[in-house]
Each structure stands twice: as structure tokens, then as C-alpha cells.
Amino acid sequence: MYFNQLFGVSAIKMRKLGVFNGNVKTDNKMFVDPKLLEDAKDEFLGAHGDITRHFSAVVELIKKVKTESPKDPYFAAAVRAMRFKETSNTGLGCSAIGKDGNGIGQVLATRIVKQAILILPHVDFQPEVLEMIGVFTEGLGCDRISDMIVALLKARFVKYTSRVTAEL
């Protein structure tokens, strides 16, 4: 069942508004591409900067890590900053059945921070480097990166949804 069917709205009007008419019972194998947010408008204008600021703060924590241990306050803070719950009901991702996902928990967040500790000294760091961390971290693909972006921009998604809902 698709969004327009469930809520009794016009699929044509959705298309004219540029709104995706997703399947409401399963993930739609679509993801948020952080690079595309550079050219965003409306509720997402400035969203790329929000993401960059978040990752810049994580990098500043990582630069201060002395030991890769939860006892190191900077390591622990960096791991906390890289944990993200999947925002429910987005319909994004790659689950074959349902819409429940994983987000980024303690184990994967720790792995990401450890990879960043290894990589960052060898690159001329720009905040966008962390957008590519999925290339270097096993288990972190476009689905989980999308979960991360949606979690960081949740307020923007809520505003967008409210506006579009009112228009429909």
C-alpha cells in the first residue's frame, strides 16, 4: 500500500509537489545522500552545514583522544556523538520486510571512531571526510549513513512533513 492510498491523497498532486509516494509497509530502498544537501532548499536550506558542524565537533573530540578506551572522556564522547537511533516511519532503507532498522549502536559507533582515529592523521581533514567513513568502516553503508543524517536533521524532516501534509 502506498502513501497516497493510505491517506486518500492524489498521487498526481504528490508528484507535482515532488513528494515521494512510498510504500508504507516496507522500506523503499532509498537513502539520504549528504552531498545532495549542499544544494538543498526550503526546510533543508543549511542542513549540510548542520551535518558538517556535528562531524567537526566529533573530529575535535577525536583529536583529543589519548586511548581508545571508554575511560578516555574524549573517546567516550566521540562514540556517544556517533550513536544514532533509526528514526521510525521514514520508510527509507533496505529492509526486505517491515521498516524496523538498526541505526548506529555502541558497537558500530565505536568502530567508526576507531577508524576515524586511524584515518584522520593521514588526510587533510575537511568535515566531509566523515561523510565517506562508510567506505572505511565495515557495516556502515548508505542505509546507516542515511539513518545518521535523518537523526541529525529530524526537526527539518518534521517541518517538511508538516508543510507537505498541509498542502496535500
Q: Return mean pLDDT, the chain.
A: 83
pTM, two decimal places: 0.81
What gap in Å lies between CA 107 and CA 113, rounded to an integer? 10
For residue 85, how many other CB atoms are within 10 A of its CB? 13
Per domain, the residue ranges of the chain are: 31-87+99-167
Confidence band of 160 (pLDDT split at 50, 70, 90): very high
Query: Tens digit of pLDDT for each residue in 81-118?
Result: 999 887 766 655 545 444 455 678 899 999 989 988 98
Angle ∠(23,151,65) on CA atoms, nearest 5: 145
Confidence band of 142 (pLDDT split at 50, 70, 90): confident
Angle ∠(147,152,157) on CA atoms, nearest 5: 85
Angle 73-81/47-63 helices, nearest 10 degrees?
A: 160
Query: Tens digit of pLDDT for each residue in 41-91?
Result: 999 999 999 998 998 899 899 999 999 999 999 999 999 999 988 776 665
Residue 127, pLDDT above cutoff 70 = no
What gap in Å lies between CA 48 and CA 156, rounded to an integer? 12
> CB neighbours of 93 closer than 8 A, spacing ≥ 6?
27, 28, 29, 31, 86, 99, 101, 143, 146, 147
